[in-house]
Amino acid sequence: MFPGLRAAHRILVARRRIVAYHSNTRSNEEDIVVIIDTAATVWWTAGVPVRLVWSGRRWRVTDTPTRLTVTRAELPTAITHAPERTVGWRFQATAEDGETLVVDIVPEGGGWGVARTWT
One domain, residues 11 and 30? yes
One domain, residues 32 and 72? no
Alpha-carbon distance 91 to 83, whole Å? 23
One domain, residues 110 and 72? yes
One domain, residues 108 and 84? yes
Burial level of 60, CB count in 10 A (0-12/13-18/19+)?
middle
Enclosing domain of residue 67 = 39-118
User: Domain count of the chain?
Assistant: 2
One domain, residues 10 and 66? no
Which candidate, 94, 93, 89, places its Cα nearest to that of 105? 89
Model pTM score: 0.65
One domain, residues 81 and 27? no
One domain, residues 6 and 52? no
pLDDT band at 9 (very low <50, low <70, confident <90, very high): very low
Alpha-carbon distance 38 to 16, whole Å? 8
One domain, residues 16 and 65? no
pLDDT band at 89 (very low <50, low <70, confident <90, very high): very high
One domain, residues 54 and 15? no
Interacting residues of 14 by C-beta distance below 8 A, sequence separation 6+: 33, 34, 35, 36, 38, 115, 116
One domain, residues 44 and 7? no
How large is the average pLDDT for residues 34-40? 67
One domain, residues 79 and 60? yes
Per DSSP bridges, beta strands 9-13 and 30-34 are: parallel
